[in-house]
Amino acid sequence: MIDLYTWTTPNGRKASIALEELGLPYAAHPVDIGKDEQFKPDFLKISPNNKIPAIVDRDTGIHLMESGAILVYLADRTGRLLPKDGAKRYQVIEWLMWQMGGPGPFLGQVHHFVKYNKGKAPYAEERFLNEARRLYGVLDKRLAEREFVADDYSIADIAIWPWISRYEWQTIDLNAYPNVKRWYVAIARRPAVERGYHVPKKVNEIPMP
Ligand SMILES: N[C@@H](CCC(=O)N[C@@H](CS)C(=O)NCC(=O)O)C(=O)O
């Protein structure tokens, strides 16, 4: 049994979608970051960077923060969604790291400046929107030649998809990125993704272009 500490955000949904895809038994514990629950001392013991998601695996005693590390752990625990070794494993890790260093931080800045603080910092809005469009372009090019970012559906897709699901917040027209749109819709229709998206609670339907 895995305890998942999470909230209704892209980083949190990565972990719940992976748990659903892998069929691992888990208990979801809401950490309302709007109420600063991520700063509670008990949570900081497992997530010292005061961010969700975090997990505790009751069977192994292992606890982890950082969604990328959590995805690798869950995949290795089951032998699925991440090849065990060889070039294909590193290809998945390559695109997982791309998400952790690119769409995660930069689309997060778009949410901050463009959705929540529009007009306060035009330079930041322009800078982060340009970077968002560049990242969507990179993903679109990658998906022009393959069904999923690392050929087979993997934790790399699971890491990227929840960030793309906020395309409306990012003022991104998915029609401008047809390969991303095709990939996004295909993943959105997976039953495990539908279930994982609504953890720890349902706030809206999955946006559909
Ligand atoms: N690099 C971290 C980022 C996690 C993250 O930014 N979590 C946000 C929600 S999406 C959070 O918990 N924010 C609360 C805070 O910063 O105090 C990961 O991928 O797990």
Ligand 1 and 67: CB distance under 6 A: yes
Q: How far is the CA of 50 from the centre of ligand 1 (A)?
A: 7
Give the tens place of pLDDT for each residue, 180-193. 999 999 999 999 99
Of 52, 65, 155, the residue with max ligand 1 atoms within 8 A of its CB, to mutate for a pocket test, comes to 52
Q: How far is the CA of 10 from the centre of ligand 1 (A)?
A: 9
Q: Distance (Å, rounded) from C-alpha 4 to C-alpha 114?
A: 30
Per-10-residue mean pLDDT of the chain, 209 residues long, equals: 98 98 98 98 98 97 98 98 97 98 98 98 98 98 98 98 98 98 98 98 98
What is the bridge-based pairing of β-strands 2-6 and 26-30? parallel
Predicted structure pTM score: 0.98
Give the tens place of pLDDT for each residue, 143-180. 999 999 999 999 999 999 999 999 999 999 999 999 99
Ligand 1 and 160: CB distance under 6 A: no
CA distances for 1 relative to 6, 55, 86, 104, 205, angstroms: 16, 10, 30, 28, 28
